[in-house]
Amino acid sequence: MAKHKITRVVKIQLKAGEAGPATVGKDLGPLGINLMDFCRRYNAATEAQRGFVVPAEVTVYEDRSFDLVTKMPTTASLLRRAAGLDGGSPRPGHHTAATISREQLREVARTKLPDLNTTDLDQAEKIIAGTARSMGLQIKD
């Protein structure tokens, strides 16, 4: 079987299970792929992760076919779910949006570990804690 020539690789972040042609049209429309087919495949792949923002990597080939690879939900959306928030603080460092426990932080780090550049859970916790601070979340022990 002959290899397809890759035209472009696009990284996109969408709400899980809620992709529609209107939301992806400006990013994927110029590439000539079938938007309805993309939306159908993305929604099927992310249906179990509804409520999170899930990044995807779309590899577009010369013949306008494509491959779709979904990643773990974004760290910010995992932290928002753990804290029970809709968004972070408007002024991180000045206003605290919410407080999360060390155990909640560890659970987010455990979930996100495959996508991080470390295999050590303690280091992963430090990475996630940095994101939490930048969102205005306070971590209690």
- Counting every residue, how long is the chain? 141
Q: What's residue 59's pLDDT?
A: 94
- Decide if 31 contacts 8 (C-beta within 8 A): yes
- Of 41, 57, 52, the C-alpha closest to 16 is 52
- Going by pLDDT thresholds of 50, 70 and 90, the confidence category of residue 93 is confident
On whether the CB atoms of residues 89 and 28 are closer than 8 A, the answer is no
Spatial separation of the C-alpha atoms in residues 30 and 9, rounded to whole Å: 13
Query: What is the predicted pLDDT for the residue at 91?
Result: 85
47-87: pLDDT as tens digits: 999 989 999 999 999 999 999 999 999 999 999 998 888 87
Task: Please write the tens of the pLDDT for every residue from 61-71.
Answer: 999 999 999 99
Confidence band, pLDDT 50/70/90 cuts, at residue 27: very high
